Amino acid sequence: MESTRKNNRQLFLDKEFIATLALAKEGVLHPVDKLMNGAEAREVEQSGYYKGKPFPFPFIIAPAGEKNREVLTTAYQGEPLDFMVDGKIRGTIIVDEVFEVDKKKRIEQIFGTYDISNPETQMFLKRLGDIAVCGEYELQFDDVKNVKNKIADAKKLLGAKNVSAIMMNANPFHRAHERVIRITLEKCDMMVIFLLKPYKQDLLSYELRLKALEYFVDNYLPKNRVVIVPFENTYLFTSYKNAVLDAICASNLGCNKLVLGQHHSGIGAYYDQNEMKSVLDHYDDLDIDIEIITEFVYCNECKTLVSTNTCPHGGHHHIKYHAKSLLEILKAGMLPPAIFMRKDLSALLLSELFKHRFSNIGKIYDAIFPNSGLLESHDERDFYLELMRLHQTTSLT
């Protein structure tokens, strides 16, 4: 339970900091299970390894703000400091060491460059202080533990030995996502879909993206073999090496294979003698198999969804599944064509995004669509489904 007691001095954090700390506390970042001290941070900075295992950059927290700086510069070894989040105590750390952080170097470690014109860099700089703290800590945050338990329970129920993982935003969920999921599911006992949980507002909320993905799994897949779990997509995963972190997390959460698209940020995919390579090939000691899947497009010659690696037609015949463009179509309140998204998923999203868009949906529905002749009630999702059917009627086009 959250606490409002204030017996100790406080560090003021946000939920993203707490979620990041929980990943280490629950063993998801193993062998990292604690905040690194100054010497450990410098060693990881130079080697890219921690306790003999790959880890792309130091695991530290250096919260911004004058109050935090004042507390950290006067903290003493053994002092308990409470983690305050939105006025509630969400954990406590026993100070072992505080040390200075080179903010420029920290940005370069995570983003690969110090580009203050980058919006992600600007956001991170606002949260990054110049004093880090390490020590044993306890948290009041069970989200990560619940994910671990859900995956473990599903594996036990199925007796699954071969478990594949996919990490996705599903923002929005489209036909290319479907194809990757189906191909992966054919080659494993169980699949874990880690739905990335952002810490900034977007057109499609996490809850709505989850609803759409669950709808697809429940209606179009053997759902007892697919587990959807939230993944705390914290600032750590803005790293240009985030694919390495994805692999570490998937492995520690019980998966033995990670499937990535070739355009996944942080892999730097390229071809060498017709074989796809990536920066992950430099980490051959990761405890998980990694498969990189080529891009899927709709080819207007093949008349179906194809891999760019196998389609004989040029790119000018390809319709791409560009998430930002699909979001713009949805933002405008338009129905994406069915080759991009299933019509029932489009209807689900639009009916949630534009609630009460029509003053009298039942009247409009009865006026323009065929019906059984009986009095029926219809909601906005029904309206979009019928509208899509009319879009797909070709006798007059």
The CATH code of the domain that includes 87 is 3.10.400.10
Q: Domain check: are 158 and 287 in the same one?
A: yes
Q: How confident is the model at residue 375 (pLDDT cuts 50, 70, 90)?
A: low
Whether residue 188 is predicted with pLDDT greater than 90 in this model: the reply is yes
Q: What is the mean pLDDT of residues 126-144?
A: 95
162 and 231 together in one domain = yes
3-state SS class at 181: helix
Does 201 reside within a domain?
A: yes
For residues 199 and 255, membership in a common domain is answered with: yes
Q: In terms of residue numbers, what domain contains 130? A: 10-140
Residue 285: inside a domain: yes
Q: Are residues 159 and 288 in the same domain?
A: yes
Kindly state whether residue 243 falls inside one of the protein's structural domains: yes
Q: Are residues 366 and 224 in the same domain?
A: no
The model's confidence at residue 1, banded by pLDDT at 50, 70 and 90, is very low
Q: Which of 132, 79, 83 is nearest to 103 (CA)?
A: 132
Helices (DSSP H) in the chain: which residue ranges? 15-25, 38-47, 66-74, 103-111, 119-127, 143-158, 175-185, 206-220, 242-252, 323-331, 343-353, 361-368, 380-391
Whether 365 and 271 map to the same domain: the answer is no
Residues in the chain: 397
Omega into 172 within 30° of 0, i.e. cis? yes
**CA 189 → CA 95, 220, 376, distances in Å?**
44, 17, 43
Are both 361 and 219 inside the same structural domain?
no
Based on the fold, state whether residues 230 and 281 are members of the same structural domain: yes
The SS3 assignment for 307 reads strand
Domain of residue 229, CATH code? 3.40.50.620
Residue 1 lies in a domain: no
pLDDT of residue 378: 77
Same domain for 158 and 183: yes
Average pLDDT over residues 55-79: 96
Q: pLDDT, tens digit, for every residue of 222-256? A: 978 999 999 988 888 887 778 889 999 999 999 99
At 199, is the pLDDT very low, low, confident or very high (cuts 50, 70, 90)? confident
Examine the domain organization and report whether 223 and 184 are in the same domain: yes
Residue 78 is which amino acid?
Answer: G
Domain-located, residue 303: no
Domain boundary, last residue among 140, 175, 209: 140
Domain boundary pick from 94, 120, 140: 140
Determine the Cα–Cα distance for residues 175 and 319; give it in Å rounded to an integer: 12
Structural domain includes residue 148: yes
Specify whether 127 is located in the same domain as 157: no
Q: State the Cα–Cα distance between residues 265 and 242, nearest whole angstrom.
A: 7
Percentage of the residues of the chain whose pLDDT score is greater than 90: 63
Residue 361: pLDDT band (50, 70, 90) is: confident
CA distances in angstroms from 34 to 96, 273, 343, listed in the order given: 12, 42, 46
d(CA 361, CA 338): 23
pLDDT per position as a tens digit, 260-286: 887 766 565 444 555 555 556 666 778
The residue among 235 and 101 whose pLDDT is bigger is: 101
Whether the per-residue pLDDT at 109 is higher than 90: the answer is: no
Asked whether the beta carbons of 17 and 243 are under 8 A apart, the reply is no
Verify that 358 and 256 share a domain, yes or no.
no
**For residue 239, what are its two tokens?**
């790293």
Does residue 31 have a cis bond before it (omega within 30 degrees)?
A: yes
Q: Quick check: 309 pLDDT over 50?
A: yes
The last residue of one of the domains, among 112, 140, 168, is 140
pTM: predicted TM-score of the whole model, two decimal places = 0.87
d(CA 36, CA 16): 18
Domain count, the chain: 3
Q: Contact at 8 Å (CB) between 19 and 143?
A: yes
Contact yes or no for 239/56 (Cβ under 8 A): yes
Residue 313 lies in a domain: no
Cα–Cα dist 318/296, whole Å: 9
So what's the pLDDT on residue 5? 56
- Domain membership flag for residue 108: yes
